[in-house]
Structure 1
Amino acid sequence: MAEVVRALRLYWRLQRAAMRGALQYRLNLVIGIAAGVAYQGSGFAFVWVVMHTFPAVGGWSLREIAFLYGMRLTAHALYVLPFSSLIGLDWLVREGELDRVLLRPLNPLVQIMAKRLGVGQLGDLLAGLVLLVVALPPLGPASILFCLAAVVGGALVEAAVSLALASLALRTWNTLGVRAFADDLFSKFGSYPMSVFGGAAQWALTFVLPVAFVAYVPASVLLDRTGELNVPAPVAYGSPLLGVALFALAYRIWSRQLRHYQSTGT
């Protein structure tokens, strides 16, 4: 536990230094955040246009879809902000740069996470929070706490899938394609109620790739729509814990793959 606390403290210091560096180019920072907001805003604008043609999608109203979209986007941003550097892991392995990481007296994953600050993802986070707050239904204190836990849990679900797939680069050297495919599934299907998809797709997006648990399952709990879920209500109420369990499993996979890492000799 002491090692974990030390690693997180160092990560926080490195990210603060990265933020100070980003603030030296404030116009670039503003443009990056604005680009992130515009990109994610255009995605929801498409949903808004569709919803003006069809009054409901899968029985969900525009406000409910906006709430679901906001939860998914906020969770995605919370995942990408610390883990965006994983996209460069294949390059680190192929070029032998990971050898340098392993020689330093600091957790290798923390070093990789601290390699870059995702400026555009700050825009994703801002857009997600705005949607979440605007579409938030009337909730009591317990439901608000569940919502916060669900967003963090959703971020951990995405982080777990990304870390588990990225760890395969320690053996195969190239995982960008499969990771891009998984990320595409999360972004394209995670913002809609699973009821709009066919039975097989709905099952796969719940039990094979846990897209539904990022936002759809907890949003259904908060909107009192658990009757349409493919999982029992107690499982839905415990959905934030799935992210913790999956991330612990993904970190175990990462550690195991790291023990078998062999340098390319580049």
Structure 2
Amino acid sequence: MSTAVKYLNFMITCWKLNLAGAMEFRTSFFMQVGMMLLNNVVWIFFWGVYFTRFPIMNGWEFTDVMMMWAVSSAGYGLSVTLFGNVSHLSRIIATGQLDTYLAQPKPVLLHVMISRMQIAGFGDILFGLILFGVFGDLSLLGVVKFGLALLIAMLIFTFFLVIAHSLAFYIGNAEGVAAQFFMTFITFATYPTDIFRGIGRLMLFTVLPAGFISYLPVGFLRDMNWTFTLTALGVALLLSVGGTWFFYRGLKRYGSGNMMSVRM
């Protein structure tokens, strides 16, 4: 069996166990999913009121904003559902809990990321799919393009978090810093790109690459802009490779926390 197949089987097994654990408390599961759906609906109500007064905003229509939320919500939901432990990475590093993963014959970063599932992420995924079903292109090509947009968004969300939390190798407990970085990132990812100008717009496509998520509905789903599409794919791959490299580079600086625990 090839190494790639072994890793895939390992990931699927972890996801099944995480889901089985979550379903042990079904009431809590459905409450978290429902609350996340409700939280997102509030924002859609806000945008609905806005576009009732102003039908066009810098070339963006209500449908474009809904698709932006579909991509952002579902992409983020996939990230925290499949790789839910990434948002706890800085605390794991700072408290020495990484020892548990280092003792296992598995890729450290992958093992850390998939060892937890954030249940509320299912609410984001469901919300994104509902929006796509209502406002999206339901043709075969439209579904494929939406799936690719979700993959790009998921990779950017996930590995931006990896980079932010890997700062813990260099500055100690970076949990607060990483949280601030990510809150800023996700804010930019849920507003139309074209409302930003100058330095703000430059940041969207450099320091905080949220623009490659928020512009997907216009630059990829609605109007097939090949330059933007290929750049977005390149940025997603670059963040994936760069985030992995940054983590393992920092791992060389890691000092054991002498944690005595066993992970099955």
Using the size of structure 2 for normalisation, the TM-score is 0.88
Report the equivalent of 1:37. Answer: 37
Matched-pair contact (CA < 8 Å) for 2:94–2:168: no
Change (3 A) 1:237 1:114: closer
- State how far apart, in whole Å, the 2-side matches of 1:4 and 1:257 are: 25
1:208 is paired with a residue whose SS is coil
- State how far apart, in whole Å, the 2-side matches of 1:144 and 1:241 are: 21
Aligned residues: 258
Report the equivalent of 2:255. Answer: 262
Matched-pair contact (CA < 8 Å) for 1:90–1:169: yes
Consecutive unaligned residues of structure 1, counting only runs of 5 or more, are 227-232
Matches within 5 A, 1:158-197: 158-197=157-196
Report the equivalent of 1:81. Answer: 81
Matched-pair contact (CA < 8 Å) for 2:164–2:181: no
Letter matched to residue 234 of structure 1: W
Letter matched to residue 235 of structure 1: T
1:207 is paired with a residue whose SS is coil
Letter matched to residue 166 of structure 2: S
Report the equivalent of 2:91. Answer: 91
Shift of 1:201: 0.6
1:106 aligns with 2:99: no
Matched-pair contact (CA < 8 Å) for 1:79–1:156: yes
Matched-pair contact (CA < 8 Å) for 1:157–1:247: yes
- State how far apart, in whole Å, the 1-side matches of 2:174 and 2:111 are: 20
Aligned CA RMSD, in angstroms, stands at 2.2
Change (3 A) 1:6 1:63: same
Matched-pair contact (CA < 8 Å) for 2:191–2:214: no
Consecutive unaligned residues of structure 2, counting only runs of 5 or more, are 260-264
Shift of 1:168: 1.8
Cα deviation, 1:127-178, whole Å, max 9, x if unaligned, reads: 1111122111475x44542332122012111112111122221232222223
- Could you tell me which of 226, 229, 250 is aligned with 1:237? 229
Shift of 1:209: 1.5
Report the equivalent of 1:201. Answer: 200
2:58 is paired with a residue whose SS is coil
Change (3 A) 1:136 1:47: same
Report the equivalent of 1:16. Answer: 16
Shift of 1:264: 4.5
Letter matched to residue 98 of structure 1: L
Using the size of structure 1 for normalisation, the TM-score is 0.87
